[in-house]
Amino acid sequence: DITGKTPACFEPTIDYVVTKIPRFAFEKFRGSPAVLTTSMKSVGEAMAIGRCFEESFQKALRSLETGHAGWGCDRPDGAIEPGDLDAQLRIPTPDRIFAVREAMLAGRSDAAIHALSAIDPWFLAKLRHILDVETQRLRGRQLADLGAAALLELKQLGFSDRQIAWATGSDELSVRRHRQALGVNAVFKTVDTCAAEFASSTPYHYASYERPSERLTADGLLELVPAESEVQPETRRKVLILGGGPNRIGQGIEFDYCCVHASFALQAEGFATVMLNSNPETVSTDYDTSDRLYFEPLTLEDVLNVIEAERPEGVIVQFGGQTPLKLALPLLRWLASPEGLATGTRLWGTSPESIDSAEDREQFEAILRRLEIRQPRNGLARSQAEARAVADRVGYPVVVRPSYVLGGRAMEVVFDGEELNRYMVEAVQVEPDHPVLIDQYLENAIEVDVDALCDHSGQVVIGGLMEHIEPAGIHSGDSACALPAVSLDADSLATIRRWSKDLALALQVNGLINLQFAVREGEVFIIEANPRASRTVPFVAKATGLPLAKIASQLMAGRTLAELGVTSEPVPPLQAVKEAVLPFKRFPGADSLLGPEMR
């Protein structure tokens, strides 16, 4: 399948190293110890490819999207007390690999670390190599001090621009400009199973860094030959689709479903589709789902590498969940720079500014006031004192959560001031740029999910209106829901449909939007609006027969709903019900009571 030439009995020969690291979610199951045993606890995994173990290992760590830019060198060391180090090396946990780093920095030998952890000495030697090069080539240096040879060595060992920026006190894009000025650029290699012995017909790529080679000319002189990229020219219009990264609670296979259907739909429209993802468990990373596949981390650096290599006409960030959405504004800013303008690439679909307007509580409230749309009493808090004042004004109980999260991360229902103080201290990091959202808790309300489509001409069609079976306050990902709605009255349904269309137009949506409402005693409240694909898109598509992700992709490509024959809300031919599958058996000790944080 890969080469199109070698027989099935051909023994694969590979010139790359692949590293897979599981993704865990113990923070969702407080009370269950974060200890790995013979019972599987991971919720997903990330995979990375490089020319050596060190490179693929660091790429895999940053693919996990746990906040790490690699194996350390992105925050101060010394987070583990010396007295706790032995236990952290001995007990297998998701973070033990960082305890190995702390042990090496503390002067422990590889033999001593092996005796406690039983990690193979070969792996420890490779990790030691990463740390030695970081210490010798990077620590204590200014960015201007790093020449081409040092930067090339660092990049070949998988150091990200973020790590280099942190060590040199600069920023990620400054590192990028500096190394590119010195000729240190990513080159893309092909996964071909035969170490280039045969031509490969499958465009399945990964990034690496190589030294220029030397060639002897006819007159006997040595000539430098730049490192070769194996990406073949493509004459069709291209679209880059950003995937969702590793599965985790709150962001799973439903977003990959949207990416896959976007690829199929745009191929049918005549585009060459380019997929970028790091999740080996999904259909989007099958090499025949898109015209080209890049198995790379979903970070700004890695996405920019692919944009510069492919120069796609458009980039789609709406289908991969929160992961690509977080990149939307940085990508928009870079695409407006001279380097970005040179690529001719733009973001497709709803603009990042509109997405930010829906995420930013103050901007969203201004839109709701203008449209006269009712919402629960609420406020923003950037300190503990502000939180107490807002909660007193709103009235307990309140729902509290950080801004810019998916899956209800760190969301709780708080019933008094003591619980609120505990939440502000323990659950979230309160910063001016990351305020806490505090909302009135609507007890005994019915929650409603709406998925809608909107085109560039201003036409809006609701794809599905779902009534939750559990009451409002249970995360929508954990609640069962019914399509069509079962118990809501006609006036409430009419209000929900009208407000959905008003908000889609106000946010200038081009593609999909998901809205969540609560209905209590005949009064409708808007909870939130997300101008992106939602986890309910596959359910709605299967229940109604309307392929929402496919249609949204066509809208982003410039088509209209009228052209596609989608002019009215579909009427399901049956009663469809969605139910969640919950993993509490895997997490003994965790409280199985459902709440606003998705489990």
Domain boundary, last residue among 440, 459, 490: 440
> Between 263 and 28, whose confidence is greater?
263
Same domain, 454 and 431: no
Tens-place pLDDT, residues 490-520:
999 999 999 999 999 999 999 999 999 999 8
| 207 assigned to some structural domain | no
Give the Cα separation of 61 and 59 in Å (integer).
5
C-beta of residue 30 within 8 angstroms of C-beta of residue 586 = no
> Between 202 and 3, whose confidence is greater?
202
Of the listed ranges 18-32, 122-136, 235-249, 430-444, the least confidently predicted one is: 430-444
Give the pLDDT score at 284. Answer: 77
Q: Which domain holds residue 426?
A: 377-440
Residue 530 tokens read as 């997300």
Q: What percent of the chain has pLDDT over 70?
A: 93
Give the pLDDT score at 407. Answer: 43
Q: CATH number for the domain including 123?
A: 1.10.1030.10
Cα distances (angstroms) measured from residue 246 to each of 294, 460, 495, 518? 15, 32, 37, 31
- Length of the chain equals 599
Same domain, 304 and 342: yes
| 461 assigned to some structural domain | yes
- Interval 54-74 mean pLDDT: 93
Whether the pLDDT of residue 427 is over 60: the answer is no
DSSP string, 308-372: HHH--SEEE-SSSTHHHHHHHHHHHHHHTSHHHHHHT-EE-SS-HHHHHHHHSHHHHHHHHHHHT
Q: pLDDT category, 408, cuts 50, 70, 90?
A: very low
**Exposed/middle/buried for residue 252 (C-beta within 10 Å: 0-12, 13-18, 19+):** buried
Same domain, 285 and 382: no
- Interval 338-356 mean pLDDT: 91
Same domain, 486 and 561: yes
Whether the pLDDT of residue 62 is over 70: the answer is yes
Give the pLDDT score at 403. Answer: 63
Same domain, 428 and 450: no
Same domain, 327 and 246: yes
Print burial letters for 437-469: b (CB count within 10 Å at least 16), e (below 16): bbbbbbeebbbbbbbbbbbbeebbbbbbbbbbb
Whether the pLDDT of residue 10 is over 80: the answer is no
Widest CA span of the chain, in angstroms? Answer: 89
Q: CATH number for the domain including 547?
A: 3.30.470.20
Q: CATH number for the domain including 426?
A: 3.30.1490.20
| 135 assigned to some structural domain | yes
Q: CATH number for the domain including 294?
A: 3.40.50.20
Residue with tokens 């010394």: 78
| 129 assigned to some structural domain | yes
Amino acid identity of 77?
D
Give the pLDDT score at 249. Answer: 72
| 219 assigned to some structural domain | no
Whether the pLDDT of residue 203 is over 80: the answer is no
Residue 227 tokens read as 């490192």
Of the listed ranges 109-113, 114-118, 418-422, the least confidently predicted one is: 418-422
Give the Cα separation of 429 and 421 in Å (integer).
13
Same domain, 242 and 133: no
Give the pLDDT score at 420. Answer: 80
Q: What predicted TM-score, i.e. pTM, was given to this entire model? A: 0.88
Q: pLDDT category, 548, cuts 50, 70, 90?
A: very high
Contacts of 539 (CB under 8 A, 6+ apart): 464, 466, 481, 483, 576, 578
Same domain, 280 and 344: yes
| 591 assigned to some structural domain | no
Q: Tell me if the bond preceding 397 is cis, omega within 30° of 0.
A: yes
Give the pLDDT score at 431. Answer: 45
- Interval 527-555 mean pLDDT: 90
DSSP 198: S
Tens-place pLDDT, residues 355-404:
888 877 778 889 999 999 988 888 887 777 888 888 888 888 888 877 65
Q: pLDDT category, 346, cuts 50, 70, 90?
A: very high
Tens-place pLDDT, residues 162-182:
999 999 999 999 999 999 999
Helix (H) or strand (E) holding 300: helix 300-310
Beta strands at 436-440 and 398-402: parallel, antiparallel or unpaired: antiparallel
Tens-place pLDDT, residues 453-484:
999 999 999 999 999 988 877 777 778 889 89
Same domain, 422 and 487: no
Give the pLDDT score at 84. Answer: 87
- Interval 76-91 mean pLDDT: 85
Domain boundary, last residue among 390, 425, 440: 440
In degrees rounded to 5, what are phi and psi of residue 389? -65, -40
Same domain, 522 and 562: yes
Contacts of 392 (CB under 8 A, 6+ apart): 417
The rounded mean pLDDT for the chain is 86
Same domain, 384 and 451: no
Domain boundary, last residue among 329, 348, 367: 348
| 230 assigned to some structural domain | no
| 25 assigned to some structural domain | yes
Of 45, 61, 40, the closest CA to residue 280 belongs to 45
Domain count, the chain: 4
Whether the pLDDT of residue 148 is over 50: the answer is yes
Same domain, 103 and 172: yes
Torsion angle defined by CA atoms of residues 7, 12, 14 and 20, in that order, rounded to the nearest 10 degrees: 120
- Interval 1-7 mean pLDDT: 60
